[in-house]
Each structure stands twice: as C-alpha cells, then as structure tokens.
Structure 1
Amino acid sequence: MKTVVGDLLQLAIKGEFDVIIHGCNCQCVMGKGIALSIKQSFPEAYAADCSTTKGDDQKLGTFSEAKVVRGPHTFHVLNAYTQFHWRGAGVKADYEAIRKVMKSVKAHFSGKRIAYPKIGAGLAGGDWDIIRGIIDEELAGEDHTYVEFGA
C-alpha cells in the first residue's frame, strides 16, 4: 500500500487515479464524511447509490459504480458497501464486507490505479490496522494508494 497526503477527490479529477473507493452504508444516504463530499462533487456516484435498494443488507460486500468524466480525465467512483447503517455507538464497519469488496475490486479493476481514504476507520469506527491488512492482502500486486486527507 502506497500512502500519499492530499485530497482524494482532487487527485482523481487531476487524473492521478483510475478508480476511487469509499465506504458506504446500505441506506442510500451519503450524508457525512467523504461520502458527502463525493455526493456533492460527483452526483453520478450518488445516483449509482440511489439506484440500489435502500436498507438491503445483501449489498454488504458489494459496490455500486459511477463513471465520472471531468475535463480530459475519466475515472470510476465505487460506493463500497462496508457497513449496514451509521446510527449508534461502536464499530459499524464490517470487516468481512470490506474483504469481499476488495476481492471484487481486484477482479474488476486489476491493473488500474486504485485509491481510497481510510475506508471503515473514520465514522464507521473500524480499526485501521485491521482494515489496512485486509486491503493489502486483497489488493496484493495491484497499484493501490491510501490517500490521507491533508494539504
């Protein structure tokens, strides 16, 4: 896993990545954190989320996808369903769902430049050390980058 500091969305717009992944709940909300920024910046991604069934726990471990074109650059935004809901205290990240999503990402986007924030470790309360290990295992051999938000 490579690590860079910056703005994941701006880096994608500038053509740095082919695929960006963010963790989503299964409620079609995208109301906080990076999901809200994605909803505002890439309405195509929110439309893809809304095309799924709200509250369907069968979405866990899958993703919806939006092709985004900004200027000369095209990339895909993946809404990775890594938690069922956002309410209440405690860990909402589902580690098996994260593993399943990453396996699917490798199967569909092998050879692409893949980037993500701390999926499941922010508002979802997951342990980044566990999640980092899952991502490294499932995306082994791929060009994948954790983008730590910062200037």
Structure 2
Amino acid sequence: MRSIEYVTGDATLPRGAGTKIIAHVCNDVGGWGAGFVLAISRRWPEPEREYRRWHHEREGNDFLLGAVQLVEVAPDTYVANMIGQHGLRHDRSGPPIRYEAIETALEKVADRAKALGASVHMPRIGCGLAGGTWDRIEPILVRTLCAKDVPVTVYDFG
C-alpha cells in the first residue's frame, strides 16, 4: 500500500511524470466561484464549463452527492469534479461537507486512476469552504486510493 506524499506547491501544477488526475470537491447546487475552483478556472476553462453543464442538464445524469465528472484538460491531465458538499454554507445540520460522498467519489477516482495508470493530486480537499477536517479526510484517502496502490500527492499552497 502506498502512502500519501505531502508537498508544498500548487495542486494545479501537479508534479511527476505520467497521467495525472487533480481531484477537488464541488457542491451539489451548481455553485462554482470560491476556493480551489478559482485556481482551476484560472488555469483551464473546461472543468467549470463542464461542471455547470452537468448541473444544468441534471435530468437523466448522475449529478448527485458522490458523483464524479472527469474532465480532460491536457493530453496527460484530468480534473475530477467530485460532488462531496451539500449546499454552500453551514446550517443547523453542520458544515456542508459530506464525508460519505467524498469517500464514494474517491472510490470512483481510484478506479479511473487505475484504468488510466494515473497518479492523483489534490489540495487538502474538503477542509476549506466545505468545513471538513483533515483528520477525517486523510483516512478516506488511505482507504480509497492508497489501498489500491494509487500514487497520491497532497499540496499545501505556499
């Protein structure tokens, strides 16, 4: 089983050779405009455009918690839009993060990474606007990606 590699850097500039998947958490209400998605949109227009289309054309598609949309942004780079946040803000039930949905989405990302021979790159997903904690996210990465021998790099911006 692989371990998670932690580095300082920009997750939109993934390190290493070969195919890469940049994973990040999206909400289930079609909102795109704060947090890590801004860095993605500055680098590539396709992930935002495809996410908005996915949300807008929901009838008959899988735009639900736990779903993943893989968007090719370069011949060897994909962005995984993962629906792991319910709404945009804290409410009576707590923060918008949904750990179970993130785990479901990461299981799908792991399968896609294995099929593509890809490594997975991300910031500390779910720990910003979604309101999650890394001590709950990290074990999910271990169960879903590391256990399937998928190389994982987590970026702390600096």
TM-score w.r.t. the length of structure 2 is 0.82
The residue that corresponds to 1:115 in the other structure is: 121
* Count, aligned residues: 146
Question: How far does the alpha carbon of each residue in 1:34-79 deviate from its partner, in whole angstroms, 9 at most, with x for none?
Answer: 112212321100111012135x69511011121112xxx6300011
2:14–2:22: 8 Å Cα contact kept in structure 1? no
1:25–1:86: 8 Å Cα contact kept in structure 2? yes
1:149 maps to 2:157? yes
Map 1:32-71; keep pairs closer than 5 Å.
32-54=34-56, 59-69=64-74
1:68–1:76: 8 Å Cα contact kept in structure 2? yes
Change in 2 beyond 3 A, CA 1:15/1:52: same
Could you tell me which runs of 5 or more consecutive residues in structure 2 were left unpaired when the two chains were aligned.
none
Could you tell me which runs of 5 or more consecutive residues in structure 1 were left unpaired when the two chains were aligned.
none
**C-alpha distance in 2, partners of 1:27/1:49?**
11
- Give every structure 1 segment of 4 or more consecutive aligned residues whose post-TM-superposition deviation is greater than 4 Å: 14-17
% identity of equivalent residues: 31
The residue that corresponds to 1:129 in the other structure is: 135
Q: RMSD between aligned alpha carbons?
A: 2.3
**C-alpha distance in 2, partners of 1:39/1:2?**
25
Residue 11 of structure 1, aligned match among 5, 10, 14: 14
TM-score w.r.t. the length of structure 1 is 0.86
Residue 16 (structure 1) shift: 7.3
